[in-house]
């Protein structure tokens, strides 16, 4: 019989010493903006846009992210779009390590957290050694059996995302017999149990519902509509959440915008819904635009007490 989880106490999650703690139960918290920096030729919306060999251009992009208000930069060396080719860890490292090292050499980035988007334990370890702060694993530790133990040993935050199968198979794994909220909640809780059993402390765990991964359009919309319910699923209470909707295919279908680069308006609505549902971090491509959206959504949904000191 599956153990019924008890209610978890309120907690805070530390990203880096230079960033405010994530207080996921605080109704007045501010939302972090995670800027996407893909160093891939085949990502669905920004493939070939950034190169790991052109540090001057990369530095200018990072500077724009920082000036716009991003607090986290998520670096990826491998596409996880549907049917993407799986690369070996050596190739992924060739792409991301120079970028991490360059960003860490930028004085203006000293207070910026770097997240590494990988499902390989060896990539995560080398990235952390190079200066990354967060592990962002779209498989929640399922793709590499060493990932969770590695994250525990490194003592860094890890993002556990809900996903089924692989990029090659996930579009066929969209059946949720008990409903998308119940099934995603139950499956994420199992990954959370695995992470804690591996030694990852609960205050280093961030959850992600996996918008667009093994989900249909209607399921993506339901997750956004009912994110508050998922956040209080038994065993998931009190954890911070990252939500990534930026430029995704279901937004293009609804808005009838074919080019991913032109989906900022639809993304803005999805980001607003994410914040209304309780997201602590939103992962975006259009950083300057989405920072404005986040500020407005925070002002609407997370009313600040004027007496509060921050």
- Nearest C-alpha neighbor of 228 from the set 268, 178, 266, 273: 273
Q: What three-state secondary structure class fits 115?
A: strand
Report if residue 27 sits inside a domain.
no
- Nearest C-alpha neighbor of 135 from the set 9, 148, 224: 148
**Which listed residue (95, 142, 204, 283) is catalytic?**
283
Structural domain that includes position 242: 32-301
**Which listed residue (29, 231, 248, 263) is catalytic?**
248
Report if residue 2 sits inside a domain.
no
* Strands ordered across the beta sheet of 158-161: 205-208, 158-161, 134-137, 113-117, 72-76, 32-38, 281-284, 242-243
Q: Can you give the pLDDT at residue 40? A: 82
CATH number at residue 89: 3.20.20.20
Q: Can you give the pLDDT at residue 83? A: 75
Q: Can you give the pLDDT at residue 49? A: 63
Residue 228's pLDDT band, with cuts at 50, 70 and 90, is very high
- Residue predicted with more confidence, 19 or 152: 152
Average of pLDDT values for 163-179? Answer: 94
**Residue 203: alpha-carbon gap to chain centroid:** 16
- pLDDT tens for 269-310 read 999 999 999 999 999 999 999 999 999 999 999 976 544 434
Report d(CA 173, CA 195) in Å as an integer: 23
Report d(CA 260, CA 44) in Å as an integer: 8
Report if residue 5 sits inside a domain.
no
Which range among 5-19, 20-34, 111-125 shows the weakest confidence by mean pLDDT?
5-19
Report if residue 308 sits inside a domain.
no
Measure the CA dihedral 93/244/240/50, to 10°.
30
Structure tokens at 198: 């591996």
Tally of domains in the chain: 1
What percent of the chain clears pLDDT 90, i.e. is strictly above it? 78
Q: Can you give the pLDDT at residue 112? A: 94
| Interaxial angle between packed helices 180-197 and 147-154, expressed in degrees from 0 to 180 and rounded to the nearest 10 | 60
Beta-bridge mates of residue 299: none
The answer to whether 266 and 255 have CB atoms below 8 angstroms apart is yes
Task: End-to-end CA distance of the chain: give it in Å, rounded.
Answer: 45
pTM above 0.75, yes or no: yes
Average of pLDDT values for 35-43? Answer: 80
* Residues near 84 by beta carbon (within 8 Å), at least 6 away in sequence: 42, 78, 167, 168
Report if residue 81 sits inside a domain.
yes
Report if residue 58 sits inside a domain.
yes
The answer to whether 278 and 228 have CB atoms below 8 angstroms apart is yes
Report if residue 19 sits inside a domain.
no
What percent of the chain clears pLDDT 70, i.e. is strictly above it? 90
Greatest Cα-to-Cα distance within the chain, rounded to the nearest angstrom:
56
Which range among 8-12, 76-80, 134-138, 284-288 shows the weakest confidence by mean pLDDT?
8-12
60 belongs to the catalytic site: no
Give the E-state strand segments of 82-146 in sequence order.
113-117, 134-137
* Residues near 281 by beta carbon (within 8 Å), at least 6 away in sequence: 22, 31, 32, 33, 34, 72, 206, 240, 241, 242, 243
Phi, psi (deg, nearest 5) at residue 83: 70, 15
248 belongs to the catalytic site: yes
Residue 3's pLDDT band, with cuts at 50, 70 and 90, is very low
- pLDDT tens for 229-281 read 999 999 999 999 999 999 999 999 999 999 999 999 999 999 999 999 999 99
Report d(CA 46, CA 143) in Å as an integer: 24
Q: Can you give the pLDDT at residue 304? A: 62
Q: Can you give the pLDDT at residue 11? A: 63
Residue 212's pLDDT band, with cuts at 50, 70 and 90, is very high
Q: Can you give the pLDDT at residue 13? A: 73
Mean of per-residue pLDDT scores for the chain: 90
Q: What three-state secondary structure class fits 170?
A: helix
Report if residue 11 sits inside a domain.
no
Q: How many angstroms separate the Cα of 261 from the Cα of each of 51, 249, 265, 286?
A: 18, 11, 10, 9
């Amino acid at each position: 019989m599956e153990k019924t989880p008890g209610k978890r106490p309120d907690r805070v999650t530390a990203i880096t010493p230079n960033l405010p703690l994530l207080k996921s139960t605080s109704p007045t918290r501010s939302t972090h903006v995670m800027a996407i920096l893909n160093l891939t030729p085949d990502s669905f919306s920004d493939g070939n846009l950034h190169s790991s060999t052109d540090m001057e251009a990369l530095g200018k992009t990072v500077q724009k992210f920082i000036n716009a208000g991003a607090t986290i930069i998520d670096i990826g060396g491998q596409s996880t779009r549907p049917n993407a080719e799986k690369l070996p860890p050596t190739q992924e490292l060739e792409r991301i390590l120079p970028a991490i090292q360059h960003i860490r050499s930028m004085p203006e980035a000293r207070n910026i957290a770097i997240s590494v988007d990988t499902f390989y334990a060896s990539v995560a370890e080398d990235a952390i050694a190079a200066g990354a702060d967060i592990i962002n694993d779209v498989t929640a530790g399922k793709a590499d059996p060493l990932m969770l133990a590695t994250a525990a040993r490194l003592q860094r935050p890890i993002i556990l995302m809900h996903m089924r199968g692989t990029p090659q198979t996930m579009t066929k794994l969209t059946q949720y017999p008990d409903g998308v909220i119940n099934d995603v909640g139950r499956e994420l809780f199992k990954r959370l149990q695995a992470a804690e059993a591996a030694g990852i402390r609960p205050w280093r765990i961030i959850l992600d519902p996996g918008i667009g991964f093994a989900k249909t359009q209607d399921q993506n919309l339901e997750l956004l509509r009912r994110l508050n319910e998922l956040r209080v699923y038994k065993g998931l209470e009190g954890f911070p959440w990252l939500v990534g909707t930026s430029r995704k295919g279901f937004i293009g279908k609804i808005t009838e915008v074919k080019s991913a680069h032109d989906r900022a308006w639809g993304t803005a609505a999805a980001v607003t819904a994410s914040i209304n549902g309780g997201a602590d971090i939103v992962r975006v491509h259009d950083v300057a635009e989405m920072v404005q959206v986040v500020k407005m959504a925070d002002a609407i949904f997370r009313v600040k007490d004027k007496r509060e000191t921050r």
